[in-house]
Amino acid sequence: GTKVTNNIQTCGAPDLCVNGSLNMGTVKVTTNTKCCSTDLCNTQKLPELPQQPPNGRSCYTCSDSSCSGTVSCTGNETRCINAT
């Protein structure tokens, strides 16, 4: 697959200050977040999170109109998620 790395510097709510990953089968998103609370304090570029090993859990994933595929979870991905 194709790997895309984006560095994002912006404003956000405190509950967005988390590290983690979301594996949607065809796309996996990881975030390494450092938050600060003073003016213009977000100048530091952060490293990517290391790749995590499989943890034995699997969840359903959707492609096109079917949600019968499965994806293997890694690291601390311990919950299956439904979202719209």
Is residue 46 within 8 A of residue 32, CB to CB? The reply is yes
Residue 53 lies in a domain: yes
Residue 30: strand, helix, or coil: strand
Range of the domain at 70: 14-74
In a domain, 65, yes or no: yes
On whether residue 3 sits in a domain, the answer given is no
Could you list the pLDDT tens digit for every one of the 84 residues in the chain? 678 888 999 999 999 999 988 888 888 899 999 999 999 999 999 999 898 999 999 999 988 788 899 999 999 999 999 988
The pLDDT value given to residue 1: 66
Question: What's residue 25's pLDDT?
Answer: 82
Residue at 47 is within a domain: yes
Instruction: Determine contact, residues 23/73, Cβ cutoff 8 Å.
Output: yes
65-to-21, 50, 68 alpha-carbon distances in Å = 24, 32, 9
How many structural domains comprise the chain?
1
Cα Rg of the chain, angstroms: 15
